[in-house]
Amino acid sequence: MDEPFPFPDLPPVPPPGPVTGPGGPAAPGDRGPRLPLGGMGLPLILFVLSVWFWESPVVYPVKLLTVFFHELSHGLAAVATGGSMHSIELTADQGGLCWTAGGIWWVILSAGYLGSLVWGAGLLYAAAKTRYDRELVQFLGGLLIVVTAVYVRTWAGVAFGLGFGAAMLAFASQFGEVACDQLLRYIGLTSSFYVILDIKSDLIDRNLPQSDAYRLAEMLHLPGWVVGVAWFLLAIWITFRVLEATMRQV
């Protein structure tokens, strides 16, 4: 058996037919109140504030969530390619490890940064294009709690996973679809851009020997920065395509 290996995050639906309101007849499938920039106004404002207060404790949980997505993506990639996930470690300084065995190495290595990006972009897109916002917040909360209980092995990781998961479940139970929609868009937007900054810092600016890109580059006999730049450009393309799609009126 292979030895484990570490990889270092609205109102009720209107009835069918036209419904007359202050703004005229409502179209079928209308999400209710028209929000600025197709619903991205408030999330963009919160994102800009988050960048401005990047080291604030208020932004800290979203940054840890991205690390959680990163490590979980390594594990899921291992399982999807015939391997197994043994445990996840999260530390208070936003570090993480996922211990896996077997699977396809280049897929597992690539799944960290790109997987956490897909999680963030997926939440953003799903919030903008569906009306299951409360269910998505509940799913996110439940996922955090279950994965934490089964796989997370550090005190900081357990405290974060259980605490943030419970907060998501409480938020979904107390607030309606619009609030859940805006929360998901903010989390998705911030997580996506954090991944881009993380790739630039870890894989291009420093090219750390223990990074995912460095290990993949060794396998491909390439400089580590080449893989980092490729992931960086792909992350920017995915993020802006999703952002463009979400800002279109449904």
Q: pLDDT for 126-156, tens place per residue? A: 998 888 999 999 999 999 999 999 999 999 9
Task: Kindly report the backbone phi and psi dihedral angles of residue 110, in degrees, each rounded to the nearest multiple of 5, phi listed first.
Answer: -75, -20
- For residue 146, is it within any domain? no
- For residue 238, is it within any domain? yes
- For residue 75, is it within any domain? yes
- For residue 42, is it within any domain? yes
Confidence (pLDDT) at 9: 44
Confidence (pLDDT) at 6: 63
- For residue 179, is it within any domain? no
Confidence (pLDDT) at 250: 45
- For residue 215, is it within any domain? yes
Confidence (pLDDT) at 21: 39
Confidence (pLDDT) at 248: 67
Confidence (pLDDT) at 165: 97
Count of domains forming the chain = 1
Residues of the chain with pLDDT under 70: 1-38, 206-210, 248-250
Q: If we measure between CA atoms, which residue out of 200, 142, 162 comes closest to residue 64?
A: 162
- Largest alpha-carbon pair distance within the chain? 67
The residue segments making up the domain with residue 241 are 34-131+188-246
